[in-house]
Structure 1
Amino acid sequence: MSTLFLVDFNVLKPDIGLIFWTVIIFLVLYFILGKLAWEPIQKALRRRDEEIQSSIDEAKRAREEMQAQADENQRLLIEAREERTRIISDAEKQRKEMIAEAKNEARDAAQKVASDARRDIDNMRKAAMVDLKKEVGTMAIEIAEKILQKDLKSDANQEAFVRELVRDLN
């Protein structure tokens, strides 16, 4: 009987019973696979899809943050360049002011030294003049003394000289 059944079996002309059992088995397998395999597969696919989407969103956010950071770095670089330029110009200005101030101080110091030197020279000249006058006076007195001693050796000359002095005083 079993050989008979196999001999009569034709794939191109299925039997109603075969169709029925095939449909039943297909539906049972479909239901079992739907509950046991497809739902977990779909959940896994959804979870994977969500992870991929969140990774894409995270990558976009990271890219935006990197762009924002690059923009911030560019802005900071521009500010740093401007600050450097300002510092250099301030330093140059300060250098010029310091040089001008040093020149003025040097000029003032030179003028002070020159005026002190002139004053010292004037003082030395005056002191030399006083010394010279003192020496001349001393020499004049010594010369007059010698002349008077020579002229006043006699009593008559002394009396004539005293009368002449008294007459000059009156």
Structure 2
Amino acid sequence: MIEPGIGLLFWMTLTFIILLFLLAKFAWKPILNAVNDREVTIIDALNQAKLAKQEMAQLKEDNERIIREARAERDGILKEARDMKDKIVSQAKESAKAEGEKMIEAARQSIQTEKIAAMADIKNQIGTLSVNIAENILREKLNNDGAHNALVENILNKSNLN
């Protein structure tokens, strides 16, 4: 078996201690600082990720709230539009009905006026015809003087009796 010599062990230990000293003096602090910086960076990244996750959750909640509000507003607008449409349609129906009733009443009045005018015209024509007929009958009957005197006496007798 190979046993290391005391001198070799001494020099190896001394080299190790020097290397350890040099590493501690020049390498350990920058390495530890780099590891600490990396740890801080990772912690900051995790915290930022948590914040981003919370913000995303908040944004999602806000978006859902905005969507609910928009839907409620849309439903309200649609309901209002339907109500307005129904109101306009009912007003138009009422207006058309009232206008129709006015037109029917005007037609009735026009018909009544024309009926009265026609009746008056018929009465006038009947009166004229009656006078013409009576005139013709009286001419024929009263062509002689005796018939004329008899008619006058008859009328006088009737008027005295009344």
TM-score above 0.5, yes or no: yes
The runs of at least 4 aligned residues of structure 1 exceeding 6 Å deviation read: none
Give the equivalent residue in structure 2 for 1:146: 136
> Hey, what's the Cα distance between the residues in 2 that align with 1:100 and 1:46?
79
1:26 aligned counterpart, secondary structure: helix
1:128 aligns with 2:118: yes
1:115 aligns with 2:99: no
The percent of aligned pairs where both chains have the same amino acid is 33
Give the equivalent residue in structure 1 for 2:93: 103
1:54 aligns with 2:44: yes
2:62 to 61, 72, 94: 72
> How is 1:79-90 mapped onto 2 (pairs within 5 angstroms)?
79-90=69-80
2:6 to 7, 11, 14: 14
TM-score, normalised via structure 2 length: 0.74
> Hey, what's the Cα distance between the residues in 2 that align with 1:28 and 1:145?
168
> Hey, what's the Cα distance between the residues in 2 that align with 1:70 and 1:23?
64
Compute the displacement of 1:18 (Å).
4.6
When the two structures are aligned, how many residues end up with a matched partner?
A: 152
> Hey, what's the Cα distance between the residues in 2 that align with 1:34 and 1:151?
168
> Hey, what's the Cα distance between the residues in 1 that align with 2:3 and 2:118?
156
Q: Name structure 1 gaps, 5 residues minimum.
A: 1-8
Compute the displacement of 1:109 (Å).
2.1
> How is 1:25-44 mapped onto 2 (pairs within 5 angstroms)?
25-44=15-34
